[in-house]
């Protein structure tokens, strides 16, 4: 199927532009999820350090876990908002990265 846009004033996207656009959106979402995982690891390490020092509720560990929760929430929201087909705006599945065609318009996205 030929790439088309939803707006009559917009020009059509080439195949390379579609693939680059999806790849760029995927990297943004992946970065946010990875940043959240990093903060979970920091929180676990801080908790382990505090626990070994005899402190059950560490403020730093709680702070790191709160940051990671915020990042996970932001990553989820950003993924829903931007990880979409640039041609037909169908939501793409972030966790099925083997998907090579859009489910809505069958345009090649990888």
Q: Note the residues at the interface with Zn ion (CB under 5 A).
A: 85, 87-88, 90, 102, 104-105
Q: Which is nearer to Zn ion, 65 or 85 (CB)?
A: 85
Q: Which is nearer to Zn ion, 48 or 80 (CB)?
A: 80
Smallest distance, Zn ion to C-beta of residue 3, A:
9
Q: What is the dihedral of CA 51, 56, 57, 63, to 10 degrees?
A: 20
The region, left, alpha or beta by phi > 0 then psi within -120 to 50, assigned to residue 106 is left
Smallest distance, Zn ion to C-beta of residue 76, A:
21
Smallest distance, Zn ion to C-beta of residue 85, A:
3
- In order of 3, 11, 58, the CA distances from 105 in angstroms are 8, 17, 50
């Amino acid at each position: 199927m030929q790439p088309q846009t939803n707006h009559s004033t917009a020009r059509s996207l080439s195949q390379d532009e579609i693939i680059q656009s999806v790849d760029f959106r995927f990297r943004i979402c992946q970065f946010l999820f990875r940043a959240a995982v990093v903060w979970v690891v920091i929180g676990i390490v801080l908790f382990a350090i505090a626990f070994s020092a005899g402190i059950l509720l560490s403020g730093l560990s709680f702070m790191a876990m709160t940051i990671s929760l915020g990042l996970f929430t932001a990553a989820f929201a950003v993924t829903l908002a931007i990880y979409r087909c640039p041609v037909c705006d169908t939501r793409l599945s972030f966790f099925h990265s083997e998907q090579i065609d859009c489910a809505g318009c069958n345009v090649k996205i990888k």
